[in-house]
Structure 1
Amino acid sequence: MDILRCKDIPATPWKNGGGMTQVLARQAPNWRISLASITRDGPYSIFPDTMRHQTIVQGKGIWLRGDTDQMELPFGAGRCFRGATPVAAKLMDGPVKALNVIWDPDTTDVRVAECTKPDRHVPNSNTTFLWFALRGCFVVDRYKVDEGDAVLSTDAHMPTPDAGSRIIAVSLRKTA
């Protein structure tokens, strides 16, 4: 189990130069979890043969615009879309941070959901879990996890949230 203090994770430029990313965890070439700082309107990088899930974890939100549709992502909301889909972000009201999960759907099954109470996961040697403190904090295996930080585990440790806390739960199960 790893406690991820996000303020201590270095940021690197996006592949397209339009923003910065902090990689929280990766299992190349199957998946990557990162925090993206989006400070201006603009296009996203293309990731062929992948799926993406994005949750706004700081700031008011964005609109994602594709060729044929627009998706609203306010704070706390998440959406899944194909990595090869050309999309651009338009900020609603100032900069945001987004929790991004990018994965190969041929090798990995991913679930992303908000949980407000301890969730019972079945430990599985092929599964990695990440819990992100969206609002408030939580405790996992005696460790306090503050807002904006995360826990990465392959042992399915259960988070115990403080009253009013909001947690984003990510599970990544290797399928091939």
Structure 2
Amino acid sequence: MHRFDVETLTAGRWRNGGGATREIVSWPVGAEDFLWRASIADIDRDGPFSAFPGVDRTLTLLAGDGVRLTAPGVFDRTTRAEEPLAFPGDLELSAELRGGACRVLNIMVRRGRAVARVERVTGPVVPAGGHAGVLHVLRGRWRTEAGESPLTPGRGVWWDGNDGAPGRAVVPLSPDAAALWADVVPVG
């Protein structure tokens, strides 16, 4: 498992100037065409939302009052705190902030090659063999391995399907512990 801290990830501005992205992982690492990608996005203002043809996306609100995503006559949804919102990346969406800047966990998978299930968890997470994924801590403390420092809010781990993560649980250490878990499953 690979550890990350959102605050130490490099932030890259969006081409349209509406926000910034901190990439957790793009798999395979270094490939031009990702199979799956996880990032933290800071959305600073209303405006167009980048389309990703052939990609399925899941956004989960981490901070702020949310963002309304619309494609007239096709799609109209608003993010809610810690509730994953899935949608096709092909849509030409507009983003409207609900009370100011917000931060989201963004999971993207190449349609037909992988699927992602994102959920809020409060108990142990044990990655399945051949699956990739990300666990992002929302609250409390979590343990990955004996001897490693606990994961705290804004930190987490990711793994690919070949990491040997299966059977290596990520376990809550405090009663208030909550995290987002993205389970990425290859198709075919």
TM-score, normalised to structure 1's length? 0.91
Q: SS in structure 2 opposite 1:7?
A: helix
Between the aligned partners of 2:47 and 2:125, the Cα distance in structure 1 is 36
Question: Is contact 2:35-2:109 (8 Å) kept?
Answer: yes
Shift of 1:15: 4.2
**1:94-140 CA distances to partner (integer Å, 9 max, x unpaired)?**
21111001111211121111111113443x1x321211012233121
Tell whether 2:10 aligns with 1:10: yes
Indicate the SS of the match to 1:145: coil
Matches within 5 A, 1:1-176: 1-27=1-27, 28-68=33-73, 69-122=75-128, 124=129, 126-142=130-146, 143=148, 144-153=150-159, 154=163, 155-156=165-166, 157-161=168-172, 162-176=174-188
Tell me how far apart the structure 2 counterparts of residues 17 and 96 of structure 1 sit (CA, whole Å). 15
Distance of 1:14 and 1:103 partners within structure 2: 20
Give TM-score, length-normalised by structure 2: 0.85
| Distance verdict in 2 for CA 1:46–1:15, change over 3 Å | farther
Percent identity reads 24
1:8-30 Cα deviation digits (max 9, x unpaired): 11011224432110110111421
**Take 1:158 and 1:54, find their aligned partners in 2: how far apart are those partners?**
24
Aligned-residue RMSD, C-alpha: 1.6
Assess if the C-alpha contact under 8 Å between 1:65 and 1:71 holds in 2: yes
CA contact (8 A) 2:137 2:178 kept: yes
Contiguous gaps of at least 5 residues in structure 2: 28-32
Q: Where in structure 1 are there 5+ consecutive unaligned residues?
A: none
- Please give the alpha-carbon distance, in whole angstroms, between the structure 2 residues aligned to 1:167 and 1:137: 10
